[in-house]
Chains A and B, each alone.
Chain A
Amino acid sequence: MLTVRIIPCLDVDNGQVVKGTRFKELKYAGDPVELARQYYLEGADELTFLDIGASPREEVTVLDLVRKVAREIFIPLTVGGGIRSTEDMRKALEAGADKVAICTAALNNPDLISQGAHRFGSQCIVLSIDAGFSGDCWYAYTHGGRKNTGKPAIEWALEGQALGTGEILLNSIDRDGTQDGYDLELLKEISSRVSIPVIASGGAGKLEHLAEGITVGKADAILLASLLHYKQTTIPEIKEYLEKKGVRVRC
């Protein structure tokens, strides 16, 4: 029986882990390698590194960091931020990443999804969707949540699936860093319409939110940042809580 994955997310900027609110007001949250090691030992099911500085400032990703982490941490690693070509994907995989997350580049060039899936396999490609509500529905945003593409998030998710992405990382830009809970309506909408796994992100502020994301939002995995980085809870505590709520986790 498959278990729900708990995935700590390290938003990295210039080699340090940072965390902001609604994609702004970045604060220092720790040393990435140290945090990665700690989460691994505590039972993290995967780790994600997002180079959040990458998109607006056109920098490369956090490959040196991944290279270091991959030598001693043996759980799946996802790298995102600034991946614009299959060549960038290859470099990330060579550095030790198992998957790459693409957001802005995929919206600019949807073929990047199929090219990546064809060359490295669908299991390598994570389509990261930054979704924000505007007027009548959720739209896909780019550039760290600053630019509305005008493409409805649900349409983009289905298109991404058809192009061969292995899973969807769904981030609510309205809830990011607020700790008000996941955007459950958004989560439910997307996860019920696609057949690939959906990772919930953005807004979890307490343990109840995590359970809701899984039981109500139907997420297959949850991505966490602030809750863990600021030591509001720990992975063992999360797993114990979820298990009590009847959610299957890896112990």
Chain B
Amino acid sequence: MTTGIIDYGGGNLYSVVNALNYLERPAQLIKNPEDMQNIQKLIFPGVGSFAAAVNDLKKRELFKPIQAWIESNRPYLGICLGMQLLFARSSESPEARGFGVLSGRVEKFRAKRIPQIGWNRVKWVRENYLSSRLQGEPFFYFLHSYHVSEEQGSAPWTLGLAEYEGITYPAAVHLENIWGVQFHPEKSGQVGLQLLKNWLDWDGDIVVNCKNYSLPGC
């Protein structure tokens, strides 16, 4: 099973590549649509601004293929901006449009210190495959100025919450084949590697409305 890692020129994807190498999982950089032909899973590690990422993806003719990938129920993991782009709009770039596969918006922290930089806890709101084999409310490394809005905290796809300066917001999301994390598992030590391993181990089957959360895909 080969995992594609989106390289749109802006993000720091090398740490994700290093993590997959460390976990001994085949990885392939995706620089153009043709690169997506022989992969089974897709990771989008995004950093930088919402609009810049959208523009760079469009320039490389990757935007629509990624959107099609997601919409055709294939496994997707968005990291940081890669998670935010699942939503249509961000207050960072009012003109730009993300993939829009989850409803809700991304907004700027109303906090004294921006960006949030450092290790913060994630509280899982339901049992799920991503956090299996992780203890309690683990620490992950966060680095961001924008976040999925607090209102989405009760959305059905919200998987985990983090709290920063009194703002509680979705830090992990999951809907069928789509997974997203605001934090950087590839930079979160052993816990982060375990989370990545969980996702890589998931067989990609979508189990909708599952009652037994120990099943893959839930």
Return B168 CB to nearest CB of chain A, in Å: 11
Is the pair A70, B14 in contact by a Cβ cutoff of 8 Å? Answer: yes
Q: In the complex, A7→B114 CA distance in Å? A: 19
Tell me how many residues of B have a C-beta within 8 Å of chain A: 39
Is the pair A124, B15 in contact by a Cβ cutoff of 8 Å? Answer: no
Is the pair A120, B189 in contact by a Cβ cutoff of 8 Å? Answer: no
Is the pair B113, A250 in contact by a Cβ cutoff of 8 Å? Answer: no
Q: CB-CB < 8 A to A159: which residues of B?
A: none
**Interface-lining segment among A90-98, A142-150, A202-210:** A90-98
Asked if A3 is an interface residue, CB under 8 A from chain B, the answer is: yes
Which of B18, B120, B184 has the most chain A CB within a 10 Å cutoff?
Answer: B18
**Interface-lining segment among A72-80, A107-115, A173-181:** A72-80
Q: CB-CB < 8 A to A2: which residues of B?
A: 116, 118-120, 142, 164-165
Which of chain A's residues has its CB closest to B138's CB? A250
Q: In the complex, A114→B202 CA distance in Å? A: 41
Query: Which residues between 68 and 106 of chain B lie within 8 Å of chain A, taking CB atoms?
Result: none
Return A214 CB to nearest CB of chain B, in Å: 12
Q: CB-CB < 8 A to A106: which residues of B?
A: none
Asked if A105 is an interface residue, CB under 8 A from chain B, the answer is: no
Asked if B149 is an interface residue, CB under 8 A from chain A, the answer is: no
Query: Which residues between 119 and 136 of chain B lie within 8 Å of chain A, taking CB atoms?
Result: 119-121
Return A219 CB to nearest CB of chain B, in Å: 11
Majority DSSP secondary structure for residues of B touching A = mixed
Asked if B163 is an interface residue, CB under 8 A from chain A, the answer is: yes
Q: In the complex, A101→B59 CA distance in Å? A: 30
Asked if A71 is an interface residue, CB under 8 A from chain B, the answer is: yes
Tell me how many residues of A have a C-beta within 8 Å of chain B: 34
Return B215 CB to nearest CB of chain A, in Å: 28
Q: In the complex, A225→B113 CA distance in Å? A: 25
Majority DSSP secondary structure for residues of A touching B = loop
Which of chain A's residues has its CB closest to B140's CB? A250
Q: CB-CB < 8 A to A72: which residues of B?
A: 22
Asked if B39 is an interface residue, CB under 8 A from chain A, the answer is: no
Asked if A51 is an interface residue, CB under 8 A from chain B, the answer is: no
| Contact for A76 among B120, B121, B141, B144, CB less than 8 A | B141
Is the pair A123, B118 in contact by a Cβ cutoff of 8 Å? Answer: no
Given contacts A2-B118, A121-B48, A123-B47, contact A76 B145 (CB under 8 A): no
Is the pair B117, A167 in contact by a Cβ cutoff of 8 Å? Answer: yes
Q: In the complex, A5→B139 CA distance in Å? A: 12
Q: CB-CB < 8 A to B143: which residues of A?
A: 76, 123, 166
Given contacts A195-B112, A221-B118, contact A71 B22 (CB under 8 A): yes
User: Which residues of B does A touch, CB under 8 Å?
Assistant: 10, 12, 14-15, 18-19, 21-22, 47-49, 52, 112-121, 139, 141-145, 163-165, 184, 186-190, 192-193
Write 8 A-B pairs (CB below 8 A) sorted by A numbering.
Answer: A3-B139, A76-B143, A76-B184, A93-B14, A123-B145, A195-B114, A196-B115, A197-B113
User: Which residues of A does B touch, CB under 8 Å?
Assistant: 1-5, 40, 45, 70-72, 74-76, 93-96, 98, 118-124, 166-167, 195-197, 220-221, 250-251
Add 11 more A-B contacts to A75-B188, A123-B48, A123-B115 (CB < 8 A): A5-B119, A74-B18, A74-B190, A74-B193, A76-B184, A121-B47, A166-B117, A166-B143, A196-B115, A197-B115, A251-B139
